[in-house]
Homo-oligomer: A and B are copies of this chain.
């Protein structure tokens, strides 16, 4: 058996601890599979003396995280610090420049600096791997980069944020509004104290930009992801969707069309017979549609120390086997800087929900705005007044350009008839 692959580990939070526990628990099995042992030799984190439930005394401690790359006995650096810039980025650059392979779970850094890092990794002929950055333990980076590599991908989409899916599942099961469930999830530790990265779609947008790059051979372009979240959803929206045969999911969706790359994170109505409609709780799932393979689905745990450690160590096993592969499925030099597609040109069906005052003429005003913008209404449901006296109007449109829907909503902006902002969800076609 060859010499061990020696790992320097930066960041000892829950995932870092998980990686150490996994390498301990499955040590012998991993050595058989990788053809050589995989051993952590040095670690670095902010607080040396915090109790993490794992024995760190057997590893060299490196105070300055960015110096991990310079340790002579480190072959590969695993970065689990997080943050798009700062020490994580410094470490990534210094590792690749030192001619060592780099493994990370850092979706934000890859979304912002992935192209630069892929270029550096290729120049140094080392591996840059990040299976854990998207959908936790699910091997979807590998699935796209290698498993589906023979296909032109039409679109890639999925449930990329477990916190949102957990909240939506609970709203669905209990018929309650977003705000209540979020407060509960925070109390239970399922949601961050500042949950905006999750619930406003930023986390999913980071992941989507990575998937899109691999699927379409484009440079990661986080800035052009149109992202919104689930903050404004009511239990009633989920109930209306259910009555129409749909479930509500926050989807990241990317498509490469004639006018450029389209990337969106948005709440969608998903038909109940679509596999994503059955992905509940904190699970993640990704669908890729290829021109020969058809629709592939990858599903599993999108977060947590065990699943994320599983993905990190899978990358280490690849590296131990000598399988480096191009980070974004093709050499960085051939990744295209794609134009951004105009969402107004997209055709689709929409779910629109208005909270309105309970008085004469409101429905006529909404209907007129739709007509004037050329939006054709497939169905409209108005329910009786809620506790605060306001009334919900839910509309499903026929297929048409998104521009028209935007125009209709623009016409209604500032209307005295509306209580709060309208909600617009797309219907997955």
Which residue of chain B lies nearest to A144 when distances are taken between CB atoms in the complex? B139
A5 to chain B, nearest CB (A): 13
Q: Indicate if A347 sits at the interface (CB-CB under 8 A).
A: no
Contact-residue bracket for chain A: 35 or more
Pick 14 A–B contacts, CB within 8 A, sort by A. Answer: A26-B152, A29-B152, A30-B149, A33-B326, A143-B298, A146-B323, A149-B313, A293-B301, A294-B304, A295-B300, A296-B298, A296-B300, A298-B298, A321-B323
* A151–B330 alpha-carbon span in the complex (Å): 28
A98 to chain B, nearest CB (A): 23
Q: Indicate if A422 sits at the interface (CB-CB under 8 A).
A: no
Q: Indicate if A346 sits at the interface (CB-CB under 8 A).
A: no
| Contact of B323 with A325 in the complex, beta carbons under 8 Å | yes
Q: Indicate if A138 sits at the interface (CB-CB under 8 A).
A: yes
Within 314-335 of A, Cβ neighbours of B (below 8 Å) are at: 314, 316-318, 321, 323, 325-326, 329-331, 334
Which residue of chain B lies nearest to A272 when distances are taken between CB atoms in the complex? B278
Identify which of A147, A150, A275 gathers the most chain B CB atoms within 10 Å of its CB: A150
| Contact of B296 with A146 in the complex, beta carbons under 8 Å | no
Identify which of A35, A148, A292, A299 gathers the most chain B CB atoms within 10 Å of its CB: A292
Q: Enumerate chain A interface residues (CB-CB to B < 8 A).
A: 18, 22, 25-26, 29-30, 32-35, 131, 137-139, 142-143, 146-152, 217, 275, 278, 285, 290-301, 304, 306-307, 309-314, 316-318, 321, 323, 325-326, 329-331, 334
* A10–B70 alpha-carbon span in the complex (Å): 51
| Contact of B291 with A301 in the complex, beta carbons under 8 Å | no
| Contact of B296 with A138 in the complex, beta carbons under 8 Å | yes
* A296–B325 alpha-carbon span in the complex (Å): 23
| Contact of A137 with B325 in the complex, beta carbons under 8 Å | no
| Contact of B314 with A325 in the complex, beta carbons under 8 Å | no
| Contact of B137 with A33 in the complex, beta carbons under 8 Å | no
Q: List chain B residues, Cβ under 8 A from A147.
A: 131, 138-139, 142-143, 314
* A307–B147 alpha-carbon span in the complex (Å): 11
Top 3 A-B residue pairs of the complex, sorted by shortest distance between their CB atoms: A139-B147, A150-B313, A293-B310
Q: List chain B residues, Cβ under 8 A from A310.
A: 148, 150-151, 290, 292-293
| Contact of B329 with A325 in the complex, beta carbons under 8 Å | no
Q: List chain B residues, Cβ under 8 A from A131.
A: 147
A56 to chain B, nearest CB (A): 20
| Contact of B137 with A314 in the complex, beta carbons under 8 Å | no
Q: List chain B residues, Cβ under 8 A from A318.
A: 146
* A103–B94 alpha-carbon span in the complex (Å): 39
| Contact of A309 with B326 in the complex, beta carbons under 8 Å | no
| Contact of A146 with B299 in the complex, beta carbons under 8 Å | no
Residue in contact with A292 in the complex, picked from B18, B142, B294, CB distance below 8 Å: B18
Additional A-B contact list (14), CB under 8 Å, known A30-B149, A146-B318:
A32-B331, A33-B329, A137-B290, A146-B146, A146-B323, A290-B310, A293-B301, A293-B310, A295-B301, A296-B298, A296-B299, A297-B299, A297-B300, A298-B298
Q: A321-B325, A334-B32 are in contact. Are A148 and B152 (CB under 8 A)?
A: no
Q: List chain B residues, Cβ under 8 A from A146.
A: 139, 142, 146, 314, 317-318, 323
